[in-house]
């Protein structure tokens, strides 16, 4: 048995844990406060974060407006899922109660939010938006391609600065806590940060007579955030369920069927609810009214999405661009085509099917 400040785990053949729910406000709320981040108005910041917030107002503005981007990526990755990364308006937990549970979904959101901050800060540094950083002229190396070896050393995206800052800022909260959930968050935050660094590419510009490329400037550039989103989505699929080790210092896998988690893996403690029905206790919104795909066999199939409750079909007309022709030179002209398509939406729960069939 293992007693932790705000989580209790029992080992009976498998580990069963209870976590006292804490109000999970965090820096995520900064995104809803508009461009002007007022450090004292973000309820979830701990002292250290408030201090950094006051010292780096431009950085905070960048992080705040970047929040929209990683939430959009989260929603894109989960658009076909019962849980779709939706946010609650004017709710300082941002994602609602769902993430209070130490689930796979919580693991993903912590990872992609940290990754998002690294991406945002790196881009802001390279664009010269921040006083405390710029692109990184120190990065140098040699590479080779079909034309032979070449040296490079242009101004690279400064991902290391962003990694350090986001770690200091984001981890500040969970570093104070040191309970099981805090260790889980810290682990997934780091996995997210590392995921951005994985997608740095060498980009080159050719110079020389008529693009002969005898001279070139190359630099390390971050790939589109979609790559990070997709990578973390795969990590979500392969996330490892863990228990605290007996010293409370790290994790071991909860079941032998899982592999041992590495620093790149997402980890979680608790199984997810099925997210089928609206449930104020877990924060699940349910899938009533969600669009499903009748021919798919995946998570977005009507069978899976609607949890066996069935679906309604409606015909809707829509306008698309069609018969696009290229006109010399240089325009593409299209016609507007009208088509009628069937849209299927999941039935909501009613008292007769509520829970009983799930």
Q: How far is it, in rounded angstroms, from Cα 323 to Cα 173?
A: 55
Can you tell me the distance from the alpha carbon of 195 to that of 114, in angstroms, rounded to the nearest whole number?
10
Interaction of residue 87 with ligand NAG, rule CB under 6 A? no
| Contact between 107 and 117 (Cβ < 8 Å) | no
Q: What is the distance between the alpha carbons of residues 22 and 35, in angstroms, rounded to a whole number?
A: 28
Nearest to 235 by CA among 263, 254, 255, 201: 263
Minimum Å gap between C-beta 79 and ligand NAG is 6
**20, 86, 143, 212: which one contacts ligand NAG (CB under 6 A)?**
86
Query: Does position 293 bind ligand NAG by CB under 6 A?
Result: yes
Contact 216, 153 (CB under 8 A): no
Q: Are 196 and 214 in contact (CB under 8 A)?
A: no
The H or E element that residue 290 is part of is: none
Interface with ligand NAG, residue 214, by CB under 6 A:
no
Residue 296 makes contact with ligand NAG by CB under 6 A: yes
Neighbours of 353 (CB within 10 A): 16
For residue 29, the 8-state DSSP code is G
Q: Is residue 309 near ligand NAG by the rule CB under 6 A?
A: no
For ligand NAG, the closer of residues 79 and 198 by Cβ is 79
Give the angle 50-157-121 at the CA atoms, nearest 5°.
20
Q: Which segment (57-65, 160-168, 233-241, 289-297) binds ligand NAG by CB under 6 A?
A: 289-297
CB of 40 or CB of 281, closer to ligand NAG: 281
The alpha carbon dihedral of 74, 77, 78, 80 has a sign of: positive
> Which one of 30, 285, 292, 304 is in contact with ligand NAG (CB under 6 A)?
285
Under the criterion CB under 6 A, does residue 314 sit at the interface with ligand NAG? no
With contacts defined by CB under 6 A, name the span among 146-154, 224-232, 261-269, 290-298 that binds ligand NAG. 290-298
- In whole angstroms, give the CA distance from residue 79 to residue 237: 15
168 binds ligand NAG (CB under 6 A): no
* Residue 241 vs 287, nearer CB to ligand NAG: 287
- 89/140 Cα distance (integer angstroms): 45
Complex with ligand NAG: residue 134 or 296, whichever CB lies closer = 296
Nearer to ligand NAG, 119 or 344 (CB): 344
Binding piece for ligand NAG, criterion CB under 6 A, among 107-115, 135-143, 186-194, 287-295 = 287-295
- Among 103, 287, 345, 349, contact with ligand NAG (rule: CB under 6 A): 287
Which two structure tokens, joined as six digits, stand for 82?
Answer: 């019962």
217 binds ligand NAG (CB under 6 A): no
Interactions with ligand NAG, residue window 50-79 (CB under 6 A): 75, 79
Q: Determine, following the binding rule CB under 6 A, whether residue 290 of this chain makes contact with ligand NAG.
A: yes
- Total binding residues for ligand NAG by CB under 6 A? 11
Q: Report yes or no: 173 and 50 within 8 Å, Cβ to Cβ.
A: no
6 touching ligand NAG, by CB under 6 A: no
**From CA 52, how far away is CA 31, in angstroms rounded?**
16
320 binds ligand NAG (CB under 6 A): no
For residue 31 the two structure tokens come to 């995104």
By CB under 6 A, name the binding residues for ligand NAG. 75, 79, 84, 86, 285-287, 290, 293, 295-296
């Amino acid at each position: 048995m293992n007693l932790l400040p705000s989580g209790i785990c029992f080992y009976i053949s498998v580990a069963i844990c209870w976590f006292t729910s804490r109000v999970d406000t965090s820096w995520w709320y900064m995104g809803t406060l508009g461009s002007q981040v007022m450090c004292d108005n973000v309820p979830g910041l701990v002292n250290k974060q408030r201090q950094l917030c006051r010292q780096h107002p431009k950085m905070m503005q960048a992080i705040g407006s970047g929040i929209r981007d990683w939430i959009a990526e989260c929603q894109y990755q989960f658009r076909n899922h019962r849980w779709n990364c939706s946010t609650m308006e004017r709710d300082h937990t941002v994602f609602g109660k769902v993430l209070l549970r130490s689930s796979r979904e919580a693991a993903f959101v912590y990872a992609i939010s940290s990754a998002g901050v690294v991406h945002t800060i790196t881009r802001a540094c390279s664009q010269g938006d921040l006083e405390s950083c710029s692109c990184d002229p120190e990065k140098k190396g040699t590479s080779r391609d079909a034309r032979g070896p070449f040296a490079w050393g242009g101004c690279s995206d400064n991902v290391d600065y962003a990694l350090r800052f986001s770690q200091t800022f984001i981890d500040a909260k969970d570093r104070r806590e040191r309970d099981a959930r805090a260790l889980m968050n810290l682990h997934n935050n780091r996995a997210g940060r590392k995921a951005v660094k994985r997608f740095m590419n060498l980009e080159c510009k050719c110079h020389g007579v008529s693009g002969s490329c005898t001279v070139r400037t190359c630099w390390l550039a971050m790939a589109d955030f979609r790559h990070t989103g997709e990578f973390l989505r795969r990590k979500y699929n392969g996330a490892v369920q863990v228990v605290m080790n007996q010293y409370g210092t790290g994790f071991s896998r909860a079941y032998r069927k899982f592999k041992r988690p590495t620093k790149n893996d997402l980890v979680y403690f608790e199984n997810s609810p099925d997210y089928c029905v609206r449930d104020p206790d877990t924060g699940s919104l349910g899938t009533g009214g969600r669009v499903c795909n009748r021919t798919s066999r995946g998570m977005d199939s009507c069978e899976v999405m609607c949890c066996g409750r069935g679906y309604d079909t409606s015909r809707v007309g829509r306008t698309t661009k069609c018969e696009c022709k290229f006109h010399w030179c240089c325009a593409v002209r299209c016609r507007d085509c009208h088509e009628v398509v069937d849209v299927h939406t999941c039935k909501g729960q009613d008292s007769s099917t509520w829970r009983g069939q799930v």
